[in-house]
Chain A
Amino acid sequence: MDKYRPALTRAALAVVPLAFLAVFFAYPVASLVGLGLGGDGPGLGLLTDSGVRHVLWFTVWQAVASTVLTVLVALPGAAVLARFDLPGRAVIRALVTVPFVLPTVVVGAAFLALIGPDGLLGIELDRTVWAILAAHVFFNYAVVVRIVGSVWAQLDRRQEEAARMLGSSRFAAFRRVTLPALRPAIAAASSVVFLFTFTSFGIVQILGGPEYATLEVEIYRRTVYQLDLSGAAVLSLVQFFAVAVLLALDGLLTGKARASRLVEPAPRRPRGRLEWAFVGANLVVLVVLLMAPLAVLVERSFANGLGSWKALASSDSSSVLPVPAWQTVATSLQYAVIATALAVVVGVCAAVVLTRPGRLGGVFGLLLMLPLGTSAVTVGFGFLVALDEPPLDLRDSPLLVPCAQALVAVPFVVRAVLPVLRAIDNRLREAAAVLGAPPLRVWWRVDLPLVWRALAAATGFAFAISLGEFGATVFIARADSPTIPVAIAILLGRPGEVNSGQAMALATILMVLCSVTLVVLDRLRPSNAGGEL
């Protein structure tokens, strides 16, 4: 009986994420893809089309290149932030993560100002693959810093030091001792970066121009502009398949490697010329690659002095926004609170279920990650064709926006909480259960005290993600309450300096909100047992 009960509890808990995914992901996506495949389309024959093959090839190689480049650039950064005690370390860590949660409409504008024609950096990369790669590094730097850094910070330094005492060079010690210990984390980070760059959309569109298209861009063009649902459905399936394979590989590569017990040496000040040079070089990368685009946005918001900021509060009826711009901040915060609550409930249920993976655990974990690899337009148009009849006529509901945002945030919650839950010694739970505690009390007394820091971090991250989410939000019809990213897109969609200035001011507000959330999150981060955020 005692053995049977937790299993039953887990089955009951599994219902929440499964129902959520079924209603807001599987059903809409299956409906749209089904609609596309139902027609008399080209079917898999589409894949022999030379244009489509070109897209597939580009999608793969730019993702490989982006991933390699991101890891190469961000790995030293991860070392610096994990090992060295620098002034303002928490703030730097938070700022590094801001790009990850910013909408691409905003980032595209900033990048053009830097590496576009007459860009501030003096090198023109606009309309080249280099621009796409640079932006991908910018976006995903945080993924490597956080995932690899959280392991790096806990590595026992004594092993590396011992190797050096025995005569290894710094590099040899790193290669023989540190690198193998980091390998699972690097694999995990790489697969996440690959997932994001494989499905890259806005960056490829804005910085690459119409000549470049990833699978995601092609699905979008076919769905939105050509209404070629059958072609889009075939490509969606291809993307689905690729992402599923990737995630399954990721599970194999990283699933086993989490058990190692780690110590946590305190970060220390850099010592010696070499270490300072290393830290300095990485800070230069941080400033040029990560801070410069963010600073450009702030600078642009002040291009008219304080005018753009004052305009945010105006309720001028000639404004292109249906509400004064500052209200979009309130709307975004409200949505983000609801989305975060949903994501935490769904994510924690899922993580508890996945703590003891059964036969179906792998499939379930994969299903949770799939929304990240699915084109937003497929989900958005899927809502339109699937959720259109009572009791599921949700198309016009304003709450659909936080539901869609939660879909994006759930995987992050799971990834943050799951490793910590797995690290909890199950004997503690069993002891409590033997002493007669019902499952909920076991969780409350055993799991929660150990997991709450990771949970708080996940909550903050989910909140920041929801604030900046654009792709899914923009496809969902809504009443007169745009979020900040949607308002930015609307404002950039009109001529006139008041509009573009307001867009930049809103982008600055979004950055500040995200930074503050992430700084707070950083303080709550688990100090031991690495969550992945």
Chain B
Amino acid sequence: MRAPRLLAVAVVLLAAACSTDTKTDTSTVTLVTHESFVVSKEVLADFQKQSGLTVKILRSGDAGALVNKAVLSKGNPQGDVLFGVDNTFLSRAIDAGIFSAYDPKNLDQVAANLKEGTDGKVAPVDYGDVCVNYDKAYYAKKGIQPPSSFADLLKPAYKNQLVVENPATSSPGLAFLLGSVATYGDTGWKDYWAKLKANGALVVDGWEEAYQQRFTVGSQGKGNRPLVVSYASSPPAEVVYAEKKPADAPSGVVTNTCFRQIEYAGLLDGAANPTGGRKLLDFLLSPQFQKDMPLQMFVYPSVTGTPLPAEFTKYAATPEKPLTLPAADITKNREAWIDEWTNTVLR
């Protein structure tokens, strides 16, 4: 008899040791988000002061992992609001029914094309463009022009220069694949990738490796690939996070390769504090947060008319016509495209 009772005691003790009380507390609101979420301390403090809420931020993984975790804990979520699901994963989140509908204040000031496919369940908070970046110094030294389109990437002049992410494991990788589908259509994209591979494109699993270890700019000069799939806002980030502020960004953007990525936030179904969650969603679309975002997360605010910081207007490239695909198309084909891509490029 002694052992089972001891077991029970031990379990309860362990549980007590490892648990903290956060439930049934309406003064705390919890934001579940990805690893890249950043907000200025002052902006967050202001919101907490005004709303009387304490914001708890749970960061983990990237957009894909974030959505999958939320799907797994559906109905009994880890927090009240989820921020960071993007348009490549939106359909999975919405189909799984993890959100409950809410239209935050200022949603009416968000451009209609950003709201496509959201079904009223989530609100677009920011957008950014996934594009090929190039090392300015490299091409200046070689005396050749950087590529200017998808088609250019197949030219011998750019052989063995590009590093791309695996769309099966990386959200910029998936965006770039979708960009190629948007450019070459449902029939032509596979042929394009076969040629891209023949021209020496290197595939890696994630953005970190592509940019920080392979790209000549991001790797403190130790990488050997002058072309990388990254973001249109990476050049301003290189300036902001430079040891000595350079006069110009060291990298540039091939604007014809840009695929638009939109990030959304929504109220999680089964949230412990839905009222607080709604306030938090309002905050994400508020002028303060929207204005703060570009230099924190290097993305563009979704609310029209939000002023941009100088670093952005100066160093970030804005594609005239970013590539997009209808959300329904992405939903229908995502897995099949990834499988076909894997067979074409990796196998």
Contact = CB atoms under 8 A, between A and B. Distances in A.
29 contacts: A8-B2, A15-B3, A109-B212, A112-B213, A117-B223, A210-B204, A224-B64, A224-B169, A225-B68, A227-B71, A229-B72, A300-B220, A318-B40, A318-B240, A320-B36, A384-B73, A385-B73, A396-B58, A397-B19, A397-B20, A399-B18, A399-B20, A403-B18, A477-B32, A479-B57, A493-B208, A495-B241, A496-B238, A498-B242
A210 B169 contact: yes
Interface stretch (B4-12, B176-184, B261-269): B4-12
A398 B20 contact: yes
A291 interface: no
B218 A23 contact: no
A210 B346 contact: yes
Contact of B10 (A15, A117, A389, A397): A15
A398 B16 CA distance: 13
A370 interface: no
Nearest to A205: B205
A210 B238 contact: no
A105 to B, nearest CB: 8
Scoring B30, B213, B335 by chain A CB atoms within 10 A of each residue's CB, the highest score goes to B213
Contacts of A318: 40, 240, 295-296
Contacts of A205: 205
Contacts of B22: 396
A474 B60 contact: yes
Interface string B1-44: 01100110011101111111011000000101001101011100
Given A224-B65, A495-B241, A210 B20 contact: no
A384 B10 contact: no
A456 B329 CA distance: 60
Given A19-B7, A23-B11, A390-B23, A493 B36 contact: yes
A130 interface: no
A200 to B, nearest CB: 14
Interface in A388-404: 388-400, 403
A227 B243 contact: no
B69 interface: yes
A317 interface: yes
B243 A493 contact: no
Given A224-B61, A493-B35, 11 more contacts: A19-B7, A20-B14, A384-B69, A390-B23, A391-B12, A393-B19, A490-B35, A493-B208, A495-B211, A496-B240, A496-B242
B40 A15 contact: no
A385 B2 contact: no
B331 interface: no
Contacts of A8: 2
Contact of A16 (B10, B42, B78, B234): B10
A392 B20 CA distance: 10
A322 B208 contact: no
Contact of B168 (A105, A210, A479): A210
B166 A210 contact: yes
B76 A389 contact: yes
Interface of B: 2-3, 6-7, 10-12, 14-20, 22-23, 30, 32, 35-36, 38, 40-42, 56-61, 64-65, 68-69, 71-73, 76, 78, 92, 166, 168-169, 202-205, 207-209, 211-213, 218-220, 222-224, 230, 234, 237-238, 240-243, 295-296, 298, 335, 346
A216 B60 CA distance: 20
B212 A225 contact: no
B212 A209 contact: no
Given A318-B295, A477-B58, A497 B72 contact: no
Interface in A209-263: 209-211, 221, 223-227, 229
A15 B166 CA distance: 46
Contacts of B11: 19, 22-23
Given A19-B10, A23-B14, A479-B56, A388 B40 contact: no
Nearest to A54: B347
A347 to B, nearest CB: 15
A502 to B, nearest CB: 10
Contacts of B92: 227
A12 interface: yes
A427 to B, nearest CB: 28
Contacts of B64: 224-225
Most buried by B among A209, A227, A318, A479: A227
Interface string A315-348: 0011010100000000000000000000000000
Contact of B60 (A388, A403, A476, A499): A476
A11 interface: yes
A499 B241 contact: yes
A49 interface: no
Nearest to B11: A19
Q: Interface extent on A, as a size class? A: 35 or more
Contacts of B219: 500
Contacts of A35: 72
Contacts of B242: 496-498
A15 to B, nearest CB: 5
Contacts of B15: 23, 391-392, 394
A15 B7 contact: yes
A111 B346 CA distance: 23
A96 to B, nearest CB: 25
Q: Which of B30, B38, B219, B243 has the most CB of A within 10 A?
A: B243
B169 A225 contact: yes
Given A112-B213, A113-B222, A221-B168, A320 B38 contact: yes
A362 interface: no
B58 A500 contact: no
A492 B208 CA distance: 6
A6 interface: no
A105 B237 CA distance: 22
B205 A397 contact: no
A132 B220 CA distance: 24
A480 to B, nearest CB: 6
Contact of B18 (A22, A209, A388, A394): A394
Contact of A501 (B16, B59, B220, B295): B220
Interface string A366-385: 00000000000000010011
A475 interface: yes
B209 to A, nearest CB: 6
A478 interface: yes
Contacts of A15: 3, 6-7, 10
